[in-house]
Structure 1
């Protein structure tokens, strides 16, 4: 029976004597158990790779690696580390085809936030540290990675940035802005037709005289926004939040017959004075304390709408559907046409 002495690659301390039997795979398995590493390759004292167990002779001194190239124990700095179990303090990292060999102390204390922090982000490095049982090191590596990563930018998009997007988009292409943050941005007088603003944050935006024809503002946040004089023909604002917004003199009336849809929208306290809203769909919307003076609501759907304390003075409500709406405290002065019972009773 042949016996050999195995060392961790690059070291000449804490070797183990093992018996040679079976196949090369069996030999690597024994070395794994004896040295506590993932044995992948065997080298002789001159750095020759052993690929057949028949090449091993009795009393040979072999070096076991985890896939890294041979390190001469006579020249490698690791051979001069005499601490018990010192080999476990070393890591050889294969990152992008390049091998990095370093120690725990170097990783943690010297460059954890610069070059090495970039190395740690490569796949498998933390898993390798945990495999060696160096949990404390793994935790410190994770902190270094987190500190080195660029924080997520949630800052609002500026007018300059958005205009650049608009100019780079073909006129026949639909620009998707779903869920983006435009809070407080100045988007006044821009051509925003057919843009998808679904669930976008447009709170406190300046959208005065902007062209939002057929744009999608479903569930968008328009609270406190200024849309005075905006073109809202055929706009979709289902369940959007426009509480406290200003919509004076807006045009919702589409000559082509495509009606604006504001069903279920929150329009508490909005100022829509003088807006053109023929045929608009405001079913089950909330218009509590809103100002709709002198609005054109001819043929509008206001069924189930909350119009409590709403000022509808001077409005045109001819053929408007007010069935089931809440008109408590609403002001109906100087109406252009008479309001019939059939319009408000189920």
Structure 2
């Protein structure tokens, strides 16, 4: 078994004695753990690069670097004495427990107005604290500092996979490296894919339906289905709140108990659809076709279209017993031959609405606007108490 003593490149203090096993890569990993750095290279005492573990002998003294060139440890004292006079002096930073070796000119030259430049332009201006190895202590994240140091070295942004750009940006702002911060902001903006607002197709939605367990609530709030063909699909209990369903083909679709609150159904075709117990509060169905739809639930669950915009809709022949159309707008709508028995139409705008042939028995029309409405061929006579305006 061979034993060697490891020192951080450029120092001869706080060495670690370790046993040599396995490959050179294994020894570098061990050195990283023992010395708290990312070991990349091993040098002997004369600066020779060790590239094969077979070259290491028992009781060798080796110097570990993070990729930088060999620094003679015997020049350490001289460097400390001359540190204020030369802008090419080597120094070591302890960033969050990890050591980085660089030159003073690297920290000062590229971004002269940065915090790092002010910290290391002159000796002890900021009273920088050092650890027992002489490394300057800075309490920041080492993984985010590494790309910053490389930027100061060569002016390029090189960030390894898995490093969060937002973290590097925050460090750049902290150290006052403005040019890097601006470039990172652009890179972050460009890394976000543009939002896709294109409508979902029938094929995509059917695949979505098939992949969803039958007992799971299907949430489609705010999705864009504009112009999609969703005819004859089973869409029961689906939450379409605030979805864009304009110009959709929903003919003969089963929308029983679905939530269409504030959804856009303008120009959509829902002919023959099952709308038992549907919630369409404040939805926009202007110009839609709902001929022959069934809103009547035998169990007594009533469809709710309160406040809906139904201007110009065609609902001819629809079954709407007990439906709630309170304060809805049905101006110029066609409701010929509809069953509106027991419907709530209080405060509803029925101006110029065609209600001929409708059954309005027990319907509540109090406060509704029936100006120009057509009530011909009514199945049951309209009682005076049902309409007050």
Q: TM-score scaled by structure 1?
A: 0.67
Q: Does 1:113 align with 2:113?
A: yes
Partners of 2:347 and 2:105 in 1: how far apart?
70
C-alpha displacement of 1:34: 28
1:32 to 1:299, Cα distance in 2 relative to 1, 3 A: same
1:161 to 1:42, Cα distance in 2 relative to 1, 3 A: same
C-alpha displacement of 1:145: 2.3
C-alpha displacement of 1:265: 0.8
1:9 to 1:197, Cα distance in 2 relative to 1, 3 A: farther
Aligned residues: 345
C-alpha displacement of 1:205: 1.1
1:140 to 1:310, Cα distance in 2 relative to 1, 3 A: same
2:343–2:360 contact (8 Å) kept in structure 1: yes
| Deviation string, structure 1 residues 151-188 (Cα, Å, up to 9, x no partner) | 22222221111111211222233211122221111111
Range that drifts further, 67-76 or 200-209: 67-76
Q: Which residue of 2 aligns with 1:255?
A: 298
1:47 to 1:153, Cα distance in 2 relative to 1, 3 A: farther
1:11–1:78 contact (8 Å) kept in structure 2: no
C-alpha displacement of 1:40: 19
Q: Which runs of 4+ in 1 moved over 6 A?
A: 1-125
1:261 to 1:39, Cα distance in 2 relative to 1, 3 A: same
1:177–1:197 contact (8 Å) kept in structure 2: yes
C-alpha displacement of 1:256: 1.1
Partners of 1:59 and 1:80 in 2: how far apart?
29
2:294–2:320 contact (8 Å) kept in structure 1: yes
1:119 to 1:310, Cα distance in 2 relative to 1, 3 A: farther
1:322–1:343 contact (8 Å) kept in structure 2: yes
Partners of 1:320 and 1:124 in 2: how far apart?
89
C-alpha displacement of 1:39: 18
Range that drifts further, 66-75 or 237-246: 66-75
1:50 to 1:106, Cα distance in 2 relative to 1, 3 A: closer
1:201–1:222 contact (8 Å) kept in structure 2: yes
| Deviation string, structure 1 residues 237-278 (Cα, Å, up to 9, x no partner) | 111111111111111011111111111111111111111111
Computed over aligned residues only, the root mean square deviation of the Cα atoms, in angstroms, reads 11.1
1:117–1:144 contact (8 Å) kept in structure 2: no
Q: Structure 1: 5+ residue runs without aligned partners?
A: none
| Deviation string, structure 1 residues 50-99 (Cα, Å, up to 9, x no partner) | 99999999999999999999988999999999999999999999999999
C-alpha displacement of 1:128: 2.3
Map 1:287-298 onto structure 2 (within 5 A).
287-298=330-341
2:350–2:371 contact (8 Å) kept in structure 1: yes
Q: TM-score scaled by structure 2?
A: 0.60
1:86 to 1:13, Cα distance in 2 relative to 1, 3 A: farther
1:273 to 1:21, Cα distance in 2 relative to 1, 3 A: closer
Q: Which residue of 2 aligns with 1:266?
A: 309
| Deviation string, structure 1 residues 113-139 (Cα, Å, up to 9, x no partner) | 9999999999999x2222332202210
Q: Which residue of 2 aligns with 1:23?
A: 23
1:73–1:79 contact (8 Å) kept in structure 2: no
Partners of 1:134 and 1:231 in 2: how far apart?
63
Partners of 2:323 and 2:121 in 1: how far apart?
54
C-alpha displacement of 1:280: 0.5
| Deviation string, structure 1 residues 265-306 (Cα, Å, up to 9, x no partner) | 111111111111111110111111111111111111100000
Q: Which residue of 2 aligns with 1:39?
A: 39
Range that drifts further, 48-57 or 238-247: 48-57
1:5–1:16 contact (8 Å) kept in structure 2: yes
Range that drifts further, 68-77 or 21-30: 21-30
Range that drifts further, 60-69 or 285-294: 60-69
Q: Secondary structure at the match of 1:123?
A: coil
